[in-house]
Amino acid sequence: MDEILKGKLHAKSDPDKVGTDFRRLVTRTNQLIDAFVNQINERRKMEEVMEYNQRMESIGTLAGGIAHDFNNILTYISTYFDIIIRQLTQGTIEHESMLEIQKAIHRATDFVEQIMTFSRQARQEKKPIQISLILKEAVKLLKATLPKGISVRNEIEITDIYVMAEPSRLYQIAMNLCTNAFHAIQETGGVLTVQLRLETRTGNENNAACILSIEDTGVGMDSETQRRIFEPYFTTKPVGRQGSGMGLVVVHGIVSSLKGTIDVHSTPGGRGRILFVDDEENIGK
């Protein structure tokens, strides 16, 4: 007990080294220590999750303010851009250069829109949404834009699954995860699988979980990358071209607002990288 009071929570007595009379007492004490340590570990985990969510919320508020100001500036730039480009002759170096600037403006507008979506999540209106329809639409768009060598496998098992959400947010989850999967297989080619299924937890259908899984056969992630993927601005891609490091932050924010959970399974170089979205509470049929 002295050891435990000194903070060595795992310190235990060996039941085999004491007399029979004490053996049961020592075993029971050891069980109590295990329960005690488990409780402390659980509490630490909960505190970490709460701290993470609070951090995300304040980043969201801050980012929302900045994005809003940026949006105003971009509107200003776009308006003057339109006036100038209309006066240039197509095919000239000036016109070509302006088209490059236009691409950058579009990318900046998309980026700002993503940040604003992330910070608006707390205030969105939710309604029952047939999630399979949203996914099918996302898969259709993907199939149309993906290059040859990449195939999309559609494994949407049950179609009448409803979740309480906003369609554009669900669409964004699908698009951000699928874009990541596509980036992971674009060099080598491979398979991108979109799966939607219902998992009954306790034999009671009202307690079913809707599971969305986006899997790819691409490059995978090492454990350091996996640990950091939900951090804002964390990216392993060329910054500005493919990666801003906000895609999964946005997904995490939306999933949390749906009271769902998100899980990652990946190994570097191996097959089967999966991102799960598990929306338990909001399911309704």
> Binding segment for ligand ATP among 85-93, 148-156, 158-166, 246-254 (CB under 6 A)?
246-254
Decide: is 217 part of the binding site for Mg ion (CB under 5 A): no
Burial 2-25 (b: 16+ CB within 10 A, else e): eeeeeeeeeebbebeeeeeeeeee
Query: How far is Cα 172 from Cα 232, in angstroms, rounded to an integer?
Result: 17
> Binding segment for ligand ATP among 53-61, 118-126, 227-235, 277-285 (CB under 6 A)?
227-235
Decide: is 221 part of the binding site for ligand ATP (CB under 6 A): yes
Closest CA to 141 of 175, 173, 169: 175
Which of 15, 245 has the CB closer to ligand ATP? 245
Which of 171, 234 has the CB closer to ligand ATP? 234
Decide: is 180 part of the binding site for Mg ion (CB under 5 A): yes
Residue 262 to residues 60, 214, 226, Cα–Cα distance (Å): 19, 11, 12
Query: How far is Cα 233 from Cα 248, in angstroms, rounded to an integer?
Result: 10
Decide: is 117 part of the binding site for ligand ATP (CB under 6 A): no
Tokens of 171: 């669409």
From the list Mg ion, ligand ATP, none, partner contacted by residue 129 (C-beta under 5 to 8 A by kind):
none
Decide: is 64 part of the binding site for ligand ATP (CB under 6 A): no
Q: Which of 102, 130, 236, 261 binds ligand ATP (CB under 6 A)?
A: 236
> Binding segment for ligand ATP among 76-84, 122-130, 160-168, 240-248 (CB under 6 A)?
240-248
Name residues whose C-beta falls within 8 Å of residue 20's C-beta, 6 or more positions apart in sequence. Answer: none
Which of 139, 229 has the CB closer to ligand ATP? 229
- DSSP-H helix ranges across the chain: 2-5, 20-86, 93-120, 131-145, 167-185, 223-228, 247-257
> Binding segment for ligand ATP among 90-98, 122-130, 166-174, 235-243 (CB under 6 A)?
235-243
Tokens of 10: 């795992």
CB 281 → ligand ATP: shortest distance, Å? Answer: 25
Residues that bind Mg ion (CB under 5 A): 180, 247
